Amino acid sequence: MKMKKYIASSMAAAMKKVQVDLGDDAIIASSKVVYSKGFLGMFKKKSYEVVAGIERKNQKETMISPRTIQQPIIIESETTEKQTETIKKELADLKTMMESMKRRSASVQYPDELADIIEKLEQQEINHELITQIGDGLFTVVKNSKNDLSQNELQELAKKHILSILRELPFGGISYDKKYINVLGPTGVGKTTTIAKMAARAVLQEKKKIGFITTDTYRIAAIEQLKTYANLLQAPVEIVYSRDDYEKALRKFEHLDLIFIDTAGRNYKEAKYIKDLQQLIDVEKNVENYLVLSLTAKERDMATIIEQFLAFPVKKLIFTKLDETNTIGSMINLMVKYKKGLAYYTNGQEVPEDIEEASMKNMIDLLFQGDNI
């Protein structure tokens, strides 16, 4: 087996070079990050080095063996229990990347000028299926373009492609077509504070007369927090323990324009809490339902919560704690997967300031801001 070294600005770009040169049967012998010397020892440039080879028919014994490479050999069939966790993780990442590339047509290879865009999407934790969809669309444009495209032009094309993926999803906050605003979500996502921000906007900007209903009778602190916000907005609060209490509260608030319902924050991975909620409140009649999720949570955990609430007519999500993360890829992944729109995202604790009504444009701009989110 002859080995060859590939160096590129990103691991994805290096792997593409391997596939173009050696094909899908290439074997990865090693990979590592390398740094070139910069001016006066500063401003070092990071690159990715991959050593790969391919079995040749009738190869002679004198050919270089992977075992002559001093870097650790990362071939799944030869791994042992003594491998470090770092090598195992590297192997898993490389396998995922190779599988993603194999799903594409062999005739479609991304040119080097797309490497920065693809790497940006990976850093934002956009899933491989969406990255492939976006990359294929950009490749088609680049291939058919008579002129070289700048990175800014490519980025704008990437934004337009993402817009086309999201175009069927609803964006924007409260419509004011419904009287009841039902806010759902697990514990710890900042649901009560988010409700206060939404309610404050309804009062201060839309001049609505509002009230609050809370079913969160499990946490005294949550009730007191909601009462504090209600007092500031001069709005009444009703605490409900049963369906009868809920119906009475609705009748009591008939004269108001808008009613915000703060549901109990529970571990909604457990289906029994979903059933309890369905029995307690009406989520269908004259109601807008929103599901609140935290961007600091694992995407898989957020997906579990969404799936538990699929029986509820939730059209739009709300994501909190944007200020505590540098990536928003999970937000886009979940919206596309479950066909849910976006109402708001929050970026701090200040009421009512730290909340933004969502639009496709501002969300995609956030995606490409990266560390500046």
Q: Structure tokens of 235?
A: 């709005």
Q: Is the pTM of this model over 0.75?
A: no
Report the pLDDT value the prediction gives residue 104, as an integer from 0 to 100. Answer: 46
Q: Structure tokens of 254?
A: 């008939």
Between 128-144 and 151-166, two packed helices, what is the crossing angle to 10 degrees?
130
pLDDT at 39 over 60: no
Tens digits of residue pLDDT in 192-213: 999 999 999 999 999 999 999 9
Report the pLDDT value the prediction gives residue 71, as an integer from 0 to 100. Answer: 45
Report the pLDDT value the prediction gives residue 84, as an integer from 0 to 100. Answer: 64
Mean per-residue pLDDT over the chain, rounded:
81
Report the pLDDT value the prediction gives residue 370, as an integer from 0 to 100. Answer: 54
Burial of residue 337 (number of CB atoms within 10 Å: 0-12, 13-18, 19+): middle
- The CATH label, of 3.40.50.300, 3.90.79.10, 3.30.70.3280, 3.65.10.10, for the domain at 180-372 is 3.40.50.300
pLDDT at 77 over 90: no
| CA neighbor of 49 nearest in space, from 29, 63, 67, 65 | 29
Neighbours of 46 (CB within 10 A): 10
CB 322 within 8 A of CB 295: yes
Cα–Cα distance list, 250 to 182, 253, 254, 260 (Å)? 13, 5, 6, 11
Whose tokens are 């109601």? That residue is: 287
Tens digits of residue pLDDT in 313-353: 999 999 999 999 988 999 999 999 999 999 999 998 888 88
Tens digits of residue pLDDT in 130-189: 998 898 888 888 878 777 888 888 899 999 999 999 999 999 999 999 999 999 988 888
Domain boundaries, the chain: 180-372
Residue type, 4: K
Tens digits of residue pLDDT in 230-265: 999 999 999 988 889 999 999 999 999 999 999 876
Mean pLDDT confidence for 3-11: 83
| 229-268 as b/e: b if 16+ CB within 10 A | bbeebebbbbbbeeeebbeebbeebeeeebbbbbbbbbeb
Report the pLDDT value the prediction gives residue 180, as an integer from 0 to 100. Answer: 94
Report the pLDDT value the prediction gives residue 76, as an integer from 0 to 100. Answer: 43
Tens digits of residue pLDDT in 284-323: 789 899 999 999 999 999 999 999 888 889 999 999 999 9
Strand partners, 314: 289
Residue type, 318: I
